[in-house]
Chain A
């Protein structure tokens, strides 16, 4: 009771709310951490350490936007990579993404294509498609302009589409 009162007074999220945030964004955050070259286990560690820190308190509820979470994972992933966390070549067999019809060939093609993208373009695609952030939120999180983010996104989509060998998504491997 006192804990809940303190949480309200300091405007902190409850444990349940933080766990629900993890359920909502955990997958995308781990994917995002993988995109910096961390292997899946290290990427999970990065995301979980962030949420355990949140559970420990000290972060104001208003700070906890999805943009904040992705920015925190980005920083932690870059630190982990610098500190020698287990990394894997981005085109390794372990897939970060699972196709809903279990088409492994498509999973490998997409992961390879994502791995070949420049880091800033890959980041925008992952945050927009799987992180659910708007281009504006990505621009805010990356401290860049909306136009820059939008053009990175367009280029990224073009390259991915080429990887699937389709100018028109109705053809080719799709």
Chain B
């Protein structure tokens, strides 16, 4: 009878209880994971915007240089210029010199239509 019991027990051991779902993480762990995820998202967003900003700055360097070139005439303007009475006196005493001064001044103040590829140059060709 005992042998039968043992055999029957062995038979019962052929059955296993159904597997339950795994134990969930405690709420504190879930909270930490969420915080870590949020921190990762913030870092990612920050570094992406920084990268974009750096890239944009790189692209805008050229226009900045161009701006300085455009502003160059203003810099030239800052150089001492002859006043209106002095120019009048020069026109009366030395007209050639007066023309040369006006010519030089116009190069500094007016757009250059002799520059290759400029809009004024193409308009002048037409």
Contact = CB atoms under 8 A, between A and B. Distances in A.
Contact of A161 (B8, B18, B19): B8
A169 B4 contact: yes
B7 interface: yes
Contacts of A30: 17-18, 20
Contact of B14 (A15, A52, A100, A157): A100
Interface in A42-69: 43-44, 47-48, 51-52, 55-56
A27 B24 contact: no
A99 B18 contact: no
Contact of B16 (A19, A40, A100, A125): A100
Given A157-B5, A169-B4, A97 B13 contact: no
B18 A40 contact: yes
Nearest to A28: B17
A27 B17 contact: yes
Most buried by A among B11, B18, B21: B18
A56 B8 contact: no
A7 to B, nearest CB: 14
A70 interface: no
Contacts of A28: 17
**Main SS of chain A's interface residues?**
helix
A7 B16 CA distance: 34
Contact of A169 (B7, B15, B21): B7
Contacts, number: 77
A130 B5 contact: no
B1 to A, nearest CB: 9
B26 interface: yes
B27 to A, nearest CB: 9
A129 B6 CA distance: 11
Contact of A110 (B9, B15, B19, B20): B15
Contacts of B14: 99-101
B12 interface: yes
A170 B15 CA distance: 17
Contacts of B21: 44, 48
A170 B7 contact: yes
Most buried by A among B5, B20, B24, B26: B20
23 contacts: A22-B23, A28-B17, A30-B17, A30-B18, A31-B17, A40-B18, A43-B20, A44-B20, A47-B20, A48-B21, A48-B24, A52-B26, A55-B26, A97-B16, A99-B15, A106-B15, A107-B15, A125-B12, A157-B5, A164-B11, A166-B8, A169-B7, A169-B8
Interface of A: 15, 19, 22, 26-28, 30-31, 40, 43-44, 47-48, 51-52, 55-56, 95-101, 106-107, 110, 125, 129-130, 154, 157, 160-161, 164, 166-170, 174
Q: Which 3 A-B pairs have the closest CB atoms?
A: A31-B17, A27-B17, A97-B15
